[in-house]
Amino acid sequence: MDYYHERVQLEKQMPAMIGVLDKETYRIFFPHDIFIPEHWHRSLELCLHENIEVVLRMNKKEYVIKNDFTCINSGVVHSLRGSNKELDETSRSIIVLISYDFMKTYYPEIDDVFFDLSLKDNHDDLKKLYYRLSDLYLNQDDFTYLEINACILEIFSLLLREYKVEKQMTYKKDYKKQEQVKKILNYIENHYQEDLSLSYMAEQIHMSKEHFSRQFHQIIGKTYKEYLSSYRLYKAYDDVVNSDLSIQDVARIHGFLNVKSFIKLFNETYHETPLQYRKKMSRN
């Protein structure tokens, strides 16, 4: 069971992945509700959300963010959800994932620290850099990447000066638990279509069923069964919207034991049956 992390595609000639999502872009990617299930990556994810409310789940806690930043440190398991119903023309998210290798090169002790934006009430200094980065990114010529790289360096420098916290022993203990859960998430991603019972998964990582169940819930904030079902639904969504497969086949392909449980979960999440949702998306 190898470690898995979301593979962040860096921009050409840049040490980061950058994105600017407005109202229309959000509704293309998330036609109903914004939902990104639990995952992790080595990159530092720092996003500015303006006139859009998102709920970040991380370290067993939920954070409601609006007109401010979400900050996810390297290696932290997290998920994101929100509604696109309240989006307007001023809504946007400036998304930046800074390469772990880039941070390690300029600050070799990066594994011993994390960044905590709650150390300051006002993030105007960071917002100014994000506004500049957004303008550069959306108006590029052949050499703008040099200015973008300089801006990313400024952002990283500001984080180190103003928001850096040394990891304590308790943090390191939690980190070890998260590493173990990452192995589980990796295994689920690669085998979610198979019969992954709680007993089977506990056996794969040499834990008792009870200990596995308790530790998974402690880190992720959901039971193992709830997470597995939500991940299968997340993977099935594309086939509901973009394929001609029957709903029965979609459920079977993505690991649901029966079509009724799939339809029930889909309806609870998207407020319509898969067939109703497909027809609506087809009309749109």
The full set of domain ranges for the chain reads 16-166, 192-283
> Taking Cα atoms as reference points, which of 64, 135, 63 lies closest to residue 94?
135
- Contact between residue 40 and residue 75 where contact means Cβ atoms under 8 Å apart: yes
Domain 16-166 class in CATH: mainly beta
**CA dist 242 → 24, 200, 282 (Å):** 19, 32, 9
Q: What is the pLDDT of residue 246?
A: 96
Whole-number Å distance between alpha carbons of 19 and 1: 32
Contacts of 118 (CB under 8 A, 6+ apart): none
Q: What is the pLDDT of residue 169?
A: 57
Q: What is the pLDDT of residue 10?
A: 60
Question: What is the radius of gyration, based on Cα positions, of the chain?
Answer: 20
pTM of the model: 0.70
Q: What is the CATH number of domain 192-283?
A: 1.10.10.60
- Contact between residue 231 and residue 255 where contact means Cβ atoms under 8 Å apart: no
CATH topology match: 16-166 vs 192-283: no
Contacts of 211 (CB under 8 A, 6+ apart): 202
Q: What is the pLDDT of residue 60?
A: 72
Residue ranges of the chain with pLDDT lower than 70? 1-12, 32, 169-176, 178, 284
